[in-house]
Amino acid sequence: MTTLYVDIETFSHSDVRRVGAYRHAEDPHFLILMAAWAHDDGPVRVETDPERIRSIPGLLDPGVRKVAHNSTFERVCFSTALGMPVGEYLDPQQWDDTMASARAQGWPAKLETLAKALQTTPKDTAGTRLINIFSKPNRAGGRNLPTDKPEQWEEFKAYCRQDVETMREIDRLLGPIPHLPERRLLVVDQRINDRGLMVDIPLARRAVRAGEINAVGHELELIRLTGVDNPNSQPQMLAWLQGRVGAEAAPNLTKETVADLLLRPGLDETTRRALRLRRELAMVAAKKFDAALRQTSADSRLRGQLTWHGAHTGRWTGSGVQVHNLPKAQFTREDPATGKAVHDDVAERTAILDLTLGLGADALDLKKLVRSMFLGPFTVVDYASIEARVIAWLAREEWALEAFRLDRDIYVETAERMSTPTRRLSRSQGKVAVLALGYNGGVKSLRVMGAEGTDDELQQLVWQWRGANPAIVDFWKRLEVAFLSGGDLGLVKVERLGKDRTIVLPSGRRLVYHGVHSRWVETTRGRRRRIYFKDWRYGGASTDTYGGRLAENCTQAVARDVLGEALVRLHDAGHRVVGHVHDEVLVEGSDVEAVERLMVQAPRWAKGLPIAGEGFSCQRYRKQ
């Protein structure tokens, strides 16, 4: 099969870094300035004529393999240049992506850093300067033409040509995504991103306006309360606060510090009010609405929000509006029959109506409305305790697996196994232990999850949990040993390849760790061996790891593979998946039973893994 390597440079009034590829290409002034391309080992050519760019040999031939670095950008931009309407894009099935291949094999995503890591021909570093000249509006709001700066234009063409040369070398080294199911999943991922989420544009606009009004009011009140000139100034506000409570109590203005101070007994009302105003100013709700407005396409759909293999484990991360990091606050009420918190449709509709009538909304209501901005109808299905199930399955913790298979409450079961004749633990304590301790966590992990008590009391809980889960504790230890020397742990296997390590998951997918090494260090517990690897997400920085963290990597990777196979099944069955957040899937439509059935179907490689999920339907996105 012929391979077409291609790289483009574009012009748009919409900065791709702020609005994403889809909105960037929809800008009325958008055009492809140039395209560098090559077939197989042939010479790299650069085209600047729009018609010749659209007619690059093989661009529309399904029998030609297209390769680009971050291929979504090229694919979306070519779609616009070819006259395709908003919402229709070139088929991702025909494209391979050197960025995706790099992510899947533990290498950096950025082309310049990737070239250095693989020691290929380096990427030209002149790109930022040239992009600022030709790809963005000049001070007059127009475009710098090639005739305006002919020398820099020739540099720009050479820069584009060099990107193709570098990309081609990288493709020869890495090849396509090595695991075939992953190749299929990437195609489905691109189609989900192409489809996008429907956004309530009027609601988002009114929310942004309400946020601006709130911010002005809060700033004026803070100036009156504190006397500072600029309430958004960290140094000014911190100096004022330390003058009230002392530097030891307020070393900074982080969310955690402010929360702790608000719980402090005896805090005077002026300081308390100022802290609350400061916290509301720092809330990101209005920013979420603003980001959605910037990035939503002309058909009111928000596209390109999911980053495939954004985490080392293969999990998705968010971009743009960051749907993986939405505010947790929701409109809830107590169900009188069960005593449980349920969604309050009346409160949600009232808040939306208040915005519509121009009555505004406070910061908390704006936080609660972020999810409501996304319009369905949706079927939302969430996996139940997926990580607790997977770690028990990988470690063969049979009592936990049996509890899951019999649909017993794992938090109650854990509390009972941790209890002693003189100390009975509650379900809430069991829940905190399950969530905090599965990956070799300790007292700090318990506190992060909200556990209360002295360090000695919490340490006792740690020992009790480990005593109740001996197979998981043993799994941490065996995995750490295997990571250094290689070894087969049953469901996962560690391959030692020089300084690299590969963890082979049950699905056949591999987690790759580069530059693994260890050294002995002195700790408070004596001399211990620490393990490190080069984390290319952070420029190749040396990052430490250990058995518990490796178990977490494996668990999250397996949970992600379960989700990935479900996404493919849903797509193949004709369901319109429009997003997913951690272990939750959003499908347009109301067929809850059908979506649940496909979600909980165990993959062929996951024999014995008890999978469960629960779904519901809603008109606006919300949590259960």
- Tokens representing 44 are 């790299």
3-state helix, strand, coil in the chain (%, to 5): 50, 20, 35
Distances in whole angstroms, Cα of residue 108 to Cα of each of 113, 118, 318: 6, 10, 17
- In this prediction, residue 521 carries a pLDDT of 83
Question: 222-236, 254-268, 487-501, 519-533 — which one is most confidently predicted on average?
Answer: 487-501
pLDDT at 280 over 80: no
Angle at 246 between CA 242 and CA 247, to 5 degrees: 70
Give me the residues paired with residue 10 across strands: 32
> Strands 65-68 and 3-11: what pairing?
parallel
- In this prediction, residue 282 carries a pLDDT of 65
Contacts of 273 (CB under 8 A, 6+ apart): 221, 225
Name the pLDDT band for 370 (thresholds 50, 70, 90): very high
| pLDDT > 90 fraction of the chain, expressed in percent and rounded | 73
- In this prediction, residue 283 carries a pLDDT of 62
361-366 mean pLDDT: 78
**Helix boundaries (H) for 296-406:** 345-356, 363-369, 386-395, 398-405
pLDDT at 424 over 70: yes
pLDDT digits (tens, 9 = 90+) for 281-319: 766 677 899 999 999 999 999 999 999 999 999 999 998
d(CA 213, CA 211): 5
pLDDT digits (tens, 9 = 90+) for 404-420: 999 999 999 999 999 88
pTM for the model stands at 0.90
d(CA 277, CA 119): 51
- Tokens representing 514 are 């580069």
pLDDT digits (tens, 9 = 90+) for 483-538: 999 999 999 999 999 999 999 999 999 999 999 999 988 877 778 889 999 988 78
539-567 mean pLDDT: 95
Q: Which of 176, 134, 170 is nearest to 151 (CA)?
A: 134
d(CA 570, CA 593): 12
- In this prediction, residue 185 carries a pLDDT of 97
Q: How many CA atoms lie within 13 A of 542 on its CB side?
A: 8
Name the pLDDT band for 229 (thresholds 50, 70, 90): confident
Angle at 490 between CA 397 and CA 480, to 5 degrees: 80
pLDDT digits (tens, 9 = 90+) for 175-198: 999 888 999 999 999 999 999 999
pLDDT at 369 over 80: yes
SS3 of 518-564: the string is EEEEEECCEEEEEEEEEEHHHCCEEEEECHHHHHHHHHHHHHHHHHH
- In this prediction, residue 338 carries a pLDDT of 81
pLDDT at 279 over 80: no
pLDDT digits (tens, 9 = 90+) for 133-180: 999 999 999 999 999 999 999 999 999 999 999 999 999 999 999 888
Distances in whole angstroms, Cα of residue 85 to Cα of each of 81, 82, 426: 10, 9, 57
Contacts of 374 (CB under 8 A, 6+ apart): 197, 198, 199, 200, 302, 586, 620, 621
Name the pLDDT band for 609 (thresholds 50, 70, 90): very high
pLDDT at 359 over 80: no
pLDDT at 9 over 70: yes
Q: Which amino acid is located at 534 in the chain?
A: K
- In this prediction, residue 394 carries a pLDDT of 98
Q: Of the given ranges (78-92, 266-280, 300-314, 496-510), which has the lowest mean pLDDT?
A: 266-280
**Helix boundaries (H) for 573-604:** 592-599
Q: Which amino acid is located at 280 in the chain?
A: E
Longest distance between any two alpha carbons in the chain, whole Å: 86
d(CA 317, CA 307): 5
Angle at 467 between CA 462 and CA 473, to 5 degrees: 85
